[in-house]
Amino acid sequence: MQKPIKTVTLIGATGLIGSRLLSRLQNDDHIDSIRILSRRPVELTGPKTNVQVIDFSDLEQFRSAIEGSDAVFCSVGTTQKKVDGDEDAYRRVDFDIPVNAARFCAETGCKHFLLVSSVGADSSSGSFYLKIKGEVEDAVQESGVQSVSIFRPSILLGERNESRPGETIGKVVMKVFSFLLPSRMKPIHADDVAAAMLWAAKQGREGFHFYQYREIKN
């Protein structure tokens, strides 16, 4: 029988999936404490919620923030626009944060690590975005965490707090032609991903597991 999940850590709580996941965690009677790790102050309040602003490059501080967690959810990510095209800055967010989080899970005895990746993630991809996502998956797989769940959504549906015109156009196009797409490429609502992440955390299946469109919907 799996140990109940009481204390969870969420990285990326202000994003499209993270915000939905936070709401579900706050309304789950089995969760006693929610730690939100953030790079900057955020206005997030609610039951059981504790926001910790940390420097993710300070590895001791990062490790300390992870310690004591029963499960760590990571949905952090940036965009080329936010980092002004600086690939090193991009990598510090999209690679360093999730990989270090997984490593600290293993070191501190946290048994569940759940990560939002992307459909098409592949460390040998010619796409910078998909290559990094694949490299993260590879590194997390080697972290030694007992239970790792990787979520690979395609286009995400739901209202963001920021404007992404290109993504908005993509949502419209993919929704219209979704019946022509293979299941893994179909757009999916962010709340469905959040629900699947919480479910997977509670299952705590040992090993390395991928969730794409069909698995997330199921």
Q: Write the pLDDT tens digit of every residue in 79-133.
A: 989 999 899 999 999 999 999 999 999 999 999 999 999 999 999 999 999 999 9
CATH number at 7-217: 3.40.50.720
* Whether 66 contacts 8, CB under 8 Å: no
The answer, yes or no, to whether residue 166 has pLDDT greater than 70, is: no
In this prediction, residue 158 carries a pLDDT of 85
Rounded Cα distance, 199 and 147, in Å: 13
The answer, yes or no, to whether residue 146 has pLDDT greater than 80, is: yes
Per-domain boundaries in the chain: 7-217
In this prediction, residue 182 carries a pLDDT of 63
38-65 pLDDT tens trace: 999 988 878 899 999 999 999 999 999 9
Q: What is the 3-class SS of the chain, one letter each residue? A: CCCCCCEEEEECCCCHHHHHHHHHHHCCCCCCEEEEEECCCCCCCCCCEEEEECCCCCHHHHHHHHCCCCEEEECCCCCCCCCCCCHHHHHHHHHHHHHHHHHHHHHHCCCEEEEECCCCCCCCCCCHHHHHHHHHHHHHHCCCCCEEEEECCCCEECCCCCCCHHHHHHHHHHHHCHHHCCHHHCCEEHHHHHHHHHHHHHHCCCEEEEECHHHHHC
In this prediction, residue 209 carries a pLDDT of 97
Catalytic residue numbers read 129, 133
In this prediction, residue 159 carries a pLDDT of 76
The answer, yes or no, to whether residue 144 has pLDDT greater than 80, is: yes
In this prediction, residue 183 carries a pLDDT of 73
In terms of Cβ atoms closer than 10 Å to its own Cβ (0-12, 13-18, 19+), residue 146 is: middle
For residue 27, give the amino acid letter: N
In this prediction, residue 47 carries a pLDDT of 80
Q: Confirm whether pTM is higher than 0.75.
A: yes
